[in-house]
Structure 1
C-alpha cells in the first residue's frame, strides 16, 4: 500500500517517490487542513486547541493498549473458528471485532462494570501516560482505534468517561472519511487520520504513537519515514517532525467462558435472523455452534499443573518457544467408548497420582511419568506408561509425545518431592462455528468425518469382494474366512505345494495373507497390482506370486464345477466346519510342502474349500 499521505492527496503517474509525488499532483484537490476539518474525525463535540498552541501529538491505541480487550478464547474454539470470528464478512453483524455486544460483555457486563469503571480491565501504566499527556499544555492527546464508529461510539465514550479519560480527539473508523472517501482497511484509516493530524497541526515538532500490534508498529514507522522523506523534499508541506512508535506489551484477556459462548450464540442468532430477511440470491448461510471432543483424559487442575511445571524445572526463558501443558493424562483420543469409560469409573471420577520420573525427549518434549497412588487402582491410558506431557517446544510433532515414554531421558524427581495430585475424568471439548446443514454438523468429532485411509490390497480385494461375492451369510463379516483356512489350499492339508496368501512353501499356512493362511482363491496382491477404478470393479486381475498356484480364473471355474457337482449329490453336508468350529473358523493349515499326509478334521476328508463354502 502506498503511504497514507499519497492516498490522502492523490497519486501521480510519474516516477517520483509516492509521498513526494502527491504534493504536486493531488494537493490542489485536498481539503483545507483546518481545526474545524480535523474535528470532524472525532466523536467528541469539543473545540480543538489552536494550531500554534500544539507542539506535540500523542496518539493512543485502544484495544490491548489502553484497555485489555477480550480476545476469542483459544481454549474454547477451534483454530478455523478463531479465524472465522475475526472475519467481518462471515457474519451479517460483523463478527467479534465489529459487534459491540462482545466488548460490552467484558467483565460482568455493562450495567455492573460502568459504575466501577471496568476496574482491572485497563492497562494502568498506559492510562497513566495518557493522563500525563492530557496535563501537558502543548500536547494534543488523541485516542485512535480501528473499531467502527456506528456500533461502538456510544459504548467507548461511556468507557472513557467512566475512567475519567478526557482526550482532545476520539477517533473511530467511519464508513467514509470526512471528504466522503472509502476506507480500505484499519491501517488505511489510521494513516489517513494521522496525515490529516500532522498537516493540521503543522507547528508540532514531534508525534508519538502507542500501539500493541507489531505489524502496526512496523507499518507506522515505515509511514513516518515516507512522510518525513517527502517533507525534506521540494514537495514539503509542513517540514519534518520527530516520530516515535512505542510498542506496548500485549495485555489481552478473555471473557468468562459461559459469558463468551452466550455472547457468540446471541451474535449467531442475530446473524440468522438477518439472513432470513435477505433476498434469496444474496442470502448468506445460517450458522450454528457444534462441539468437537478432542480427547478423553484424567484432567489436572490449574494449581496442580503449576506444581508439575515447577517440579520439572522446564527452561521457560523463551516462553514463545515453549508451550506449557501439564493438564491431563490421556485416556484416548476423541470420545471414549462406553466400555472404556466404565472401566475408568465414568465421567467425573477422581483418582490420586504420584510422579515417578521426569523426562525430556530431545529437548522438544518434557513429560512426567506417573502412577496411581493406590497400587490396586484400575485405570486406562493411551500409552503403556501413564505420562503427563508438561511442555512442547514449538514445532514438536505429535509423534514425539508417543516416543517419549520409551525413548526419553528419565530421572527421578528430587528427593522428598514425590508430587501427588488429583485428576478428574473428563473430555477436552472445543467448539466450532459452521454453516447449518453442512456435512460436518453430523459429527461430534472431526475424526468421524475424515475420509478413509488408503485401502490396502487385502481390503480392496479379499474383504471387499467377499462382502459382495457369492458366499454371503457369515463369510461377509469375516474378511473372506471361507470354509477352509488352510494355507496350503486344502482343508488342514499338510502336504499341498501351493501356499496360502503370503504363505511359504515350507509351512503351508505361513502368515496366510490376512489371517493365518486364508483360502487361496484370492492371492496376495501388492499395491502395485491395483489398477484404475474403471477396470474390474476398481481393481486389476489377481496376481499369483507362486508358479504352483492356479490362476484366478481357473480357480473360479474349478469352484463352479465343484459347486455344481455338490448340488447334484444327495449326500448330507460335510461335517468339517462343525468339528473345526472350536478353532475359530474352518480349518487351519499346519504342514509344509514336503509332507504329504493331508489330514482333514471332522470327517471332511478331501473335500475342497468350495464344497464347504456352499453350505454356509
Structure 2
C-alpha cells in the first residue's frame, strides 16, 4: 500500500467523522462499547448477484460487459437496472425478500452480529454510492437485516479521497473504522474473492505490525473466505437490459459525435437442430445406462439431432416446417465409436415425414468421454437394436444454438462480410466433400422420409472442429464460456463449460474485483471486472460525470425499467415505468 494511504484516516477520528462513510442515517454506537468489528461483503458473499450468462454471450462480450471503458455509461456493474432485474424484478422480489437469492449461512451470521452488543456490524461493498445506495438498502431491509454502517464506494471520499479500485476503498474504510474504534480487540471480514481474502490478510498483518510498533496489543484478525456464489438473470430479461445499456451508450456517443463507437448486439449461429426436451434427454440417457455397463467418466448430452451446422438454408428450413416446428421421433438403435462416444439412431414418426440432417442418418449423441467429438457419430458401424419394451417416441423442436456478441457497428459490418465469405467457402466444401472410404456399398445421406441403415460410412471433415455442439467439433453445447476475459467455463475444451449457466459458474471474478491495469496487487490484472466511477473527463474522451448524463430515449423494447443516470428509483414514482416482463419482442426471443 502507498504510504499516504496509511495516514488517510488518522485525522478526525470521531464517530461523527466516521458516520460520513456510511449511507445510513443512524447514530453509531459509543466508542467504548465496541470491542469487535464484523465486516460483510455484499456481492456473492451476502447476496447472490447475477452475472453475465456464459451460455448467452461469447467470451469477448462477457469481458466487455465487465469493463468500465467499453460503454460510456459504465457497463454491467455500473447499471443498477441489472441488479434490480434479479429474479422477477424488484417490484416482485421485494415483497418476497428476494427469496433464494441469499447466502443463508452469512445471513444467519449477520443476525448473530446484530444481537452481539459489543459488535459493530458493517456491510461493505465496492458498488458505487451514487448508483446503488437506495437499491441495496431496499434489498437488505427486505430481509430484515440491520447494519450499523453500510459503506458503498463514493465518487469522492469524506476527506476528498479518490480510489483507484475497490480494494483501495475498502482498506481506507476499514482503517477509518479501526482508527475510530481504537479499543477494538477483534475484526472479522467475510469475503468471497480469494485474492481479496489474501489482500485483506496482508493489510491486517501490516496494521498489526504498526500497532505493535506503537506498543499496542495486536488485533485478533480473521478474514473468512466465503464459498463462491453466482447466478444469472432470465435470458430474455438479460438481453433486454443489455440492449437498454447499449441504447444509453449509443445516445451518449451520438451526442458526442463519435459514431465509430456505437455498439450493437449480434448473434452467431453455431448449428441448427431438432432440440430434445430435457425430460426426453433423461429417458434417452436412462435407456443407454440400462443397455450398457461401465459408463464411467461419461459426459451425457442427448439433446439435439443435427440439421445443419451454422444457420439452416431457407429452402431446407421451409421443407422441415420452419423454426419452432415440432417433430416426433423414435429411438431404434444404440451404438458406440471406440467405446468413447455413444449415440442413439432415430427415425421419424410417421416414417414418411419430411426431415433433414447433414449427417448420414439422424442420430442423437447420448454421451462421450474426454477426447471424443460429436462428429464421430458418423463413424459408428455397429448398432444394437433397442428392445421393444424400451423403445419410446419423443418430440423435438427445430431451433438454433446461438451465442450473442457485442460489437461496434463497424465491426458488425466487417463480421457480416467475413461470415458471408466463410459461408460461401463452407458451402463449396459441403458440395465437394470427401467420403470416408472403407466399404463400397455407400448410399447418399437421408434428407427425407425413408429411414435407412445405409450411407453411414460417410465422414464429412467440414463438419468437424468448427465449434458448436453435439454434432460439431470443439465447443460444448451445454457449456459455452469465457476463456478470455469472461467469468465462466471454457469455450474450446470438449464440453468443459459450466452445466446450466445458472448457479455455480466456475472461475468467475467477484463483482468487487475492481482494478487498475497497472496494479501489482495480487489478482488485480488487466482482465479484472470493474465498476469504478472514476472515468476520465470529457476533455480526455471519456464520459461526463453522472449528473451530466443526458436523458436517453426510451428503449425500443417493452416498457423501460425505472432508471436515472445517477440513481435507481424505487417503484411508485409517477414519473417511472415498470421493467419489461415476459418477452420484450420476437427479436429478443430469437437471441436465446
Whether these two folds match at TM > 0.5 is: yes
- Residues 9 and 175, structure 2, Cα contact 8 Å, conserved in 1: no
State the partner residue of 1:242: 221
Q: Secondary structure at the match of 2:56?
A: coil
State the partner residue of 2:110: 130
State the partner residue of 2:376: 403
State the partner residue of 2:456: none
Which of 57, 64, 68 pairs up with 1:84? Answer: 64
Structure 1 residue 208: deviation in Å? Answer: 2.2
CA distance in 2, matches of 1:430, 1:312: 30
State the partner residue of 1:369: 344
Q: Report matched runs for 1:470-481 at 5 Å.
A: none
Q: Does 1:350 align with 2:347?
A: no
CA distance in 1, matches of 2:363, 2:284: 12
State the partner residue of 2:420: 448
CA distance in 2, matches of 1:352, 1:172: 55
Relative CO higher for 1 or 2, CA cutoff 8 Å, sep ≥ 6? 2
Q: Does 1:425 align with 2:398?
A: yes
Structure 1 residue 360: deviation in Å? Answer: 7.0
State the partner residue of 2:178: 198
Q: Report matched runs for 1:315-354 at 5 Å.
A: 325-354=301-330
The higher radius of gyration belongs to 1
Which of 96, 99, 103 pairs up with 2:83? Answer: 103
Q: Secondary structure at the match of 1:117?
A: coil
Summarize the Cα distance change of 1:366–1:447 in structure 2 as closer, same or farther, 3 Å threshold: farther
Provide, for residues 349-369 of structure 1, a one-character-per-residue CA deviation record: whole Å limited to 9, x for no partner.
Answer: 323334456677789x65432
Gaps of 5+ in 1: 10-26, 315-320, 460-477, 479-616
Structure 1 residue 296: deviation in Å? Answer: 0.3
State the partner residue of 2:73: 93
Q: Output the aligned Cα RMSD.
A: 3.7
Q: Does 1:154 align with 2:134?
A: yes
Q: Does 1:263 align with 2:263?
A: no
Structure 1 residue 148: deviation in Å? Answer: 0.9
Structure 1 residue 227: deviation in Å? Answer: 3.8
State the partner residue of 1:213: 193
Q: Does 1:285 align with 2:254?
A: no
Gaps of 5+ in 2: 291-296, 433-592
Summarize the Cα distance change of 1:323–1:219 in structure 2 as closer, same or farther, 3 Å threshold: farther
Provide, for residues 116-166 of structure 1, a one-character-per-residue CA deviation record: whole Å limited to 9, x for no partner.
Answer: 333333333322221121111122111111111111111111222222211
Provide, for residues 279-334 of structure 1, a one-character-per-residue CA deviation record: whole Å limited to 9, x for no partner.
Answer: 65xx77111222222210011223333444555569xxxxxx99764432222111
Q: Secondary structure at the match of 2:199?
A: helix
CA distance in 2, matches of 1:340, 1:144: 56
CA distance in 2, matches of 1:411, 1:139: 68
Summarize the Cα distance change of 1:290–1:382 in structure 2 as closer, same or farther, 3 Å threshold: same
Summarize the Cα distance change of 1:57–1:347 in structure 2 as closer, same or farther, 3 Å threshold: same
What number of residue pairs does the alignment pair up?
422
Q: Does 1:434 align with 2:407?
A: yes
Which of 284, 292, 298 pairs up with 2:274? Answer: 298
Summarize the Cα distance change of 1:51–1:288 in structure 2 as closer, same or farther, 3 Å threshold: same
CA distance in 1, matches of 2:184, 2:383: 64
CA distance in 1, matches of 2:255, 2:106: 44
State the partner residue of 1:383: 359
Which of 82, 88, 94 pairs up with 1:114? Answer: 94
Provide, for residues 160-199 of structure 1, a one-character-per-residue CA deviation record: whole Å limited to 9, x for no partner.
Answer: 2222211111111112333322211122222222233233
Structure 1 residue 56: deviation in Å? Answer: 2.3
Summarize the Cα distance change of 1:389–1:33 in structure 2 as closer, same or farther, 3 Å threshold: farther
Q: Which structure is higher in helix share?
A: 1
Summarize the Cα distance change of 1:452–1:339 in structure 2 as closer, same or farther, 3 Å threshold: closer
State the partner residue of 2:251: 273
Structure 1 residue 35: deviation in Å? Answer: 2.8
- Residues 361 and 400, structure 1, Cα contact 8 Å, conserved in 2: no
Structure 1 residue 113: deviation in Å? Answer: 3.0
Summarize the Cα distance change of 1:44–1:29 in structure 2 as closer, same or farther, 3 Å threshold: closer
- Residues 38 and 119, structure 2, Cα contact 8 Å, conserved in 1: yes
CA distance in 1, matches of 2:72, 2:298: 38
CA distance in 2, matches of 1:408, 1:184: 62
Summarize the Cα distance change of 1:421–1:287 in structure 2 as closer, same or farther, 3 Å threshold: same
- Residues 334 and 447, structure 1, Cα contact 8 Å, conserved in 2: no
CA distance in 2, matches of 1:288, 1:28: 43
Q: Secondary structure at the match of 1:140?
A: strand
- Residues 85 and 96, structure 1, Cα contact 8 Å, conserved in 2: yes
State the partner residue of 1:37: 17
Q: Secondary structure at the match of 1:101?
A: helix
Provide, for residues 521-574 of structure 1, a one-character-per-residue CA deviation record: whole Å limited to 9, x for no partner.
Answer: xxxxxxxxxxxxxxxxxxxxxxxxxxxxxxxxxxxxxxxxxxxxxxxxxxxxxx
Summarize the Cα distance change of 1:80–1:29 in structure 2 as closer, same or farther, 3 Å threshold: closer
State the partner residue of 2:231: 253
Summarize the Cα distance change of 1:168–1:326 in structure 2 as closer, same or farther, 3 Å threshold: farther
Q: Report matched runs for 1:64-83 at 5 Å.
A: 64-83=44-63
Summarize the Cα distance change of 1:258–1:30 in structure 2 as closer, same or farther, 3 Å threshold: same
Q: Secondary structure at the match of 1:183?
A: coil
